[in-house]
Amino acid sequence: MYFDIAMPLTLFMVIIVAMFLERKVEKKLKVVFEEKEFGVRDAVLLVAAISVTVSLMVFIPQMAIMIMFLFAYSMLLLIFTYLFSDFQKAKARLFCTAFFIVSFVAATISLFNFGASSTVAYGALALYCLFGFAFIALLYEENRTNTKERWYLAILPPALFIVLYVFFSGTPIWFPYLLNLYGIVFATLIILYLGSLFTWKTSLIFVCLLTVMDIILVLFTGTMVSAARHVSGLRLPVLISLPTVPAIVTEWGTLFMSLGLGDFFFAGLIGIQTLKKFGRGFAVSSVLAMSISFFIFETLILTYELRAFPGTLMIICGWLPLVLWKKLKS
Q: CB of 214 within 8 A of CB of 227?
A: no
Q: Are strands 256-260 and 239-243 parallel, antiparallel or unpaired?
A: antiparallel
Q: CB of 35 within 8 A of CB of 122?
A: no
- Number of domains composing the chain: 1
In a domain, 123, yes or no: no
In a domain, 170, yes or no: no
| Interval 125-147: pLDDT, tens | 899 999 999 999 888 888 777 76
- Nearest Cα neighbor of 153 from 78, 206, 223, 47 is 78
In a domain, 128, yes or no: no
Give the C-alpha separation, 248 to 305, whole Å. 12
244 or 23, higher pLDDT = 244
* Residue 285: CA count within 13 A, CB half-sphere: 11
Residue 39 belongs to what H/E stretch? none
23 or 76, higher pLDDT = 76
Average pLDDT of the residues of the chain: 89
Which pLDDT score, from 0 to 100, does residue 277 have?
Answer: 92
ω into 172 cis (within 30 of 0): no
In a domain, 236, yes or no: yes
In a domain, 118, yes or no: no
In a domain, 114, yes or no: no
Which pLDDT score, from 0 to 100, does residue 260 have?
Answer: 92
Which residues, other chains included, contact 305 with Cβ-Cβ below 8 Å and sequence gap of 6+? none
pLDDT of 209 over the 70 cut? yes
Which pLDDT score, from 0 to 100, does residue 150 have?
Answer: 84
Which residues, other chains included, contact 41 with Cβ-Cβ below 8 Å and sequence gap of 6+? none
In a domain, 47, yes or no: yes
Give the C-alpha separation, 272 to 281, whole Å. 12
Give the C-alpha separation, 29 to 195, whole Å. 10
> pLDDT-derived band of residue 171, with 50, 70 and 90 as boundaries?
confident
pLDDT of 115 over the 80 cut? no
| Interval 96-113: pLDDT, tens | 999 989 999 888 888 776
pLDDT of 114 over the 60 cut? no
* Section 3-11 average pLDDT: 95
Q: Kindly state the greatest CA–CA separation across the chain.
A: 68
Give the C-alpha separation, 166 to 120, whole Å. 10
Give the C-alpha separation, 242 to 240, whole Å. 7
In a domain, 249, yes or no: yes
- Distance in angstroms between the alpha carbons of the first and the last residue of the chain: 39
Tell me the β-bridge partners of 259.
240
* Section 140-161 average pLDDT: 85
* Section 106-127 average pLDDT: 77
Q: CB of 302 within 8 A of CB of 2?
A: yes
Supply the range of the domain harboring residue 257: 6-61+200-329
- Which of the residue ranges 111-115, 200-204, 311-315 would you say has the lowest mean pLDDT? 111-115
